[in-house]
Amino acid sequence: MYSPQRKDFVSLTLGDQHSRSYTNGKHRRQSCWRKWKQLSRLQHSLILFLLAFLFICGILSYPSLTEQWRGLSDRSLKEDWVELDNRGLRPIPPGLVPKLPPVVPGVQDVPPEVMPETQRPSIPLLPKPPAMRKPPSKRGPPALQKRGNVSDWQVKDGEEAMVKREEDGGKEAKTVISWRGTMIEAEQGTELQSTAHGKEGTVADAEEAADLKPVTVKAVDRAEAVREAFRHAWKGYKAFAWGHDELKPISKTHGEWFGLGLTLIDALDTMWILGLKDEFAEARKWVETELSFSKNVDVNLFESTIRILGGLLSTYHLTGDTLFLDKAKDIGFRLMPAFKTPSKIPYSDVNIGKGTAHPPRWTTDSTVAEVTSIQLEFRELSRLTQDPQYQNAVEEVTKQVHRLEGKRDGLVPMFINTNSGKFTRRGAFTLGARADSYYEYLLKQWLQGGKKETELLEDYLQAIEGVKKNLLRQTSPGKLTFDHLVCFLPGTLALGAHNGLPADHMDLAVQLVETCHQMYAQMETGLSPEIAHFNLQSNNGRDIDVKPADRHNLLRPETVESLFYMYRFTKDSKYRDWGWDILQSFNKYTRVPSGGYTSIGNVRDPLNPAPRDKMESFFLGETLKYLFLLFSDDNELISLDKYVFNTEAHPLPIWPSTS
């Protein structure tokens, strides 16, 4: 503590020897002068010394007096701030709108950040800051600890947030301090006021102008934000995993599954659709010079079909480049040994170099989803090559599953035996993994073939009725509809309704996609867990619970896939807004500064989302593709009346009608 301010003064009493009182000021001054003259020289010196001493002390004490007055001024300002706070509003404090340096497109690591829609108030208001808690000393792997969180633009208060220039002139961005902690969020497109000379104004100029009129806010180019996200992901893949299956963005290395460049092949048609010509050209060169399937390696039939064969066929149709068709023929032929089984139900694994196939080491079963979700690709390969062996093989599987016993109201079990051709482990029915895309491919094969194969449509319609009867539930207290939830289903239902199937399919799609949205919105990071549990009884006030082991997010596409379909068919802008929220959450919690995005381990902890150091190929092949199509205003860009997407988001053409 500081000691009380010292008071330096001398008390001096001057009195009249006759003790008379004076009423005239002039007489008093004359009397004082006479008294002064009567003092001795020593007394004169003492008085003058004391006066000089007081004067010097006054000069020395001036800064402390200034600080006292400044403190009073600050207290007055704080009182005004508290008054505004009590009303729930806070203006942006002066001095917190730094001018950002220009950024060269394609070079910076920082994505476009959150920006309010143009309908919002023109002068931003900051919410009351929540109670701050001290963050843990470490937040994830060393590569992400530098700035206290997993995102590469969550920086300390006062640091500048770099924002990508827009293509039409690279206008500066205004930043708003986020009260969530150590982050500065950039509002793109906010224009600074100009000086009298027509040049860009300074920060001080902009602050003064902000007091005079509202700030103009320009709408975000959301499609361009997806392009930027892809470029950032591609930057990491190119730098640390080029030609390999998967990027490990945190450790700056790669992972292999089959050793066939899965991420690159999966992303080919995405780059073409996004108009990323340079990136596509360098990927095409790798396919031409480096991609070889003559390797002694086991691959999964299902994953290779939907990612590699599907990706090559799709890219061929979009570009007309026969290089991709030739590669598709090569991999398709090498996968055919999988169908050499006693039942003609294919094995799960194929050695594409040796031409042999086998089931998993622990079982002779294959999953129903895997053997019934390869039909779109092999049927299209037969159409292009005029070789019926591919279509015959997969349609034999479809026919067998169609007539098998063991279904329940059109729902199928999860496993099928490759020796007997019968369903096994019949007790469990689900729309989740091991059965999900069976239902999706029933509808899509019917669409692919021109709506002529009635058995496929009958099986699909029966299955949807089985879903309604056996799998639909409602949560408590929010009454969310769920189906042991798979979030591709709303999009599939909407696609069917668009093609003339019952209107209540669209009603169900609307309910289910709302639940999928809530799986994101109710998580602290804004990202969905891998598995959610839905409360049927109102026991804790939450509709959705997540077990600790299920809190990871793998950058999956299913919800944005359904948002894309729902927006295409309804034009309801809320689906775009929900997709935008998801993209921003990906940028905030999964983006890695050096390039790439990572899956995370805990969607419930925004301070430590636990990066898992893996970017799945479907993030580029599906998630970003569906987000771009969601935000595109061009309905003819992959028209849903001309193309059908395989389960890895690779568009294949609907076959032309023949007389």
Q: Please give the Cα distance from 15 to 332 (Å, whole number).
A: 120
Amino acid identity at 252: K
Q: Please give the Cα distance from 260 to 557 (Å, whole number).
A: 22
Sequence-distant (≥ 6) Cβ neighbours of residue 194 within 8 angstroms? 200, 201
Does the N-terminal peptide bond of residue 477 adopt cis geometry, omega within 30 degrees of 0?
yes
Is 530 a known active-site residue? Answer: yes
Sequence-distant (≥ 6) Cβ neighbours of residue 575 within 8 angstroms? 513, 563, 564, 566, 567, 630
- Is the distance from CB of 256 to CB of 244 less than 8 angstroms? yes
- Record the tokens describing residue 229, joined without a space: 């996200």
- Is the distance from CB of 581 to CB of 627 less than 8 angstroms? no
Q: Please give the Cα distance from 95 to 79 (Å, whole number).
A: 19
159, 330, 395, 530: the active-site residue: 530
The radius of gyration of the chain's CA atoms, rounded to the nearest angstrom, is 36
| Region class of 365: left (phi > 0), else alpha (psi between -120 and 50), else beta | beta
Q: Please give the Cα distance from 286 to 439 (Å, whole number).
A: 35
Query: Per-residue DSSP letters for 252-266?
Result: TEEE-SSSS-HHHHH
Is 113 a known active-site residue? Answer: no
303, 453, 577, 581: the active-site residue: 303
Query: Per-residue DSSP letters for 464-483?
Result: HHHHHHHT-EE-TTT--EES
DSSP 3-state percent helix, strand, coil across the chain (nearest 5): 45, 10, 50
DSSP E strands, 72-210: 174-177, 184-187
- Record the tokens describing residue 361, joined without a space: 């080491």
Q: Please give the Cα distance from 49 to 385 (Å, whole number).
A: 113
Helix/strand/coil for 229: helix
Is 648 a known active-site residue? Answer: no
436, 459, 543, 613: the active-site residue: 436
Sequence-distant (≥ 6) Cβ neighbours of residue 208 within 8 angstroms? none
Helix/strand/coil for 549: helix
Displacement of CA 646 from its chain's centroid (Å): 23
HSE at residue 507, side-chain half, CA atoms within 13 A, is 4
Question: Number of H helices and number of E strands within the chain?
Answer: 22, 16
Q: How many residues in total does the chain contain?
A: 659
DSSP E strands, 212-340: 246-248, 253-255, 298-300
152, 187, 279, 558: the active-site residue: 558
Please give the backbone phi and psi of residue 438, each rounded to the nearest 5 degrees, phi first: -55, -45
Catalytic residues: 303, 436, 530, 558
